[in-house]
Amino acid sequence: MAIEQRPFGRTGHMSSAVIFGGAALKAADQATADRVLDLLFEYGINHIDTAPRYGDSELRIGPWMRRYRADFFLATKTAARDAEGARTDLMRSLERLQTDHLDLVQLHALSHPAEWEQAMGPGGALEALVAARSQGLVRSIGVTGHGWTIAAMHKRSLERFEFDSVLMPWNWFVAHHDQYRTDFEVTEALCRSRGVAVQTIKSIARGPWAAGASRSHLTWYQPLEGEDEIRLAVAWVLARPGIFLTSVGDVNLLPAVLRAAADRGPRPPDAAMAAHSQRTGLSTIFGLA
Q: Which residues contact 127 (CB under 8 A, 6 or more apart)?
A: 83
What residues form DSSP beta bridges with 6?
15
In order along its 289 residues, the chain shows pLDDT tens digits of 899 999 999 999 999 999 999 999 999 999 999 999 999 999 999 999 999 999 999 999 999 999 999 999 999 999 999 999 999 999 999 999 999 999 999 999 999 999 999 999 999 999 999 999 999 999 999 999 999 999 999 999 999 999 999 999 999 999 999 999 999 999 999 999 999 999 999 999 999 998 887 899 999 999 999 999 999 999 999 999 999 999 999 999 999 999 999 999 999 999 999 999 999 999 999 986 5
- Beta strand pairing status for 14-16 and 5-7? antiparallel
Domains and CATH numbers, the chain: 5-280 (3.20.20.100)
Q: Which residues contact 183 (CB under 8 A, 6 or more apart)?
A: 149, 151, 152, 155
pLDDT at 288: 63
**Could you say which DSSP state residue 145 is in?**
-
CA–CA distance, 32 with 218 (Å, rounded to integer): 14
pLDDT at 23: 98
pLDDT at 212: 83
pLDDT at 213: 78
Closest CA to 180 of 204, 159, 200: 200
CA–CA distance, 278 with 281 (Å, rounded to integer): 5
Identity of residue 44: G
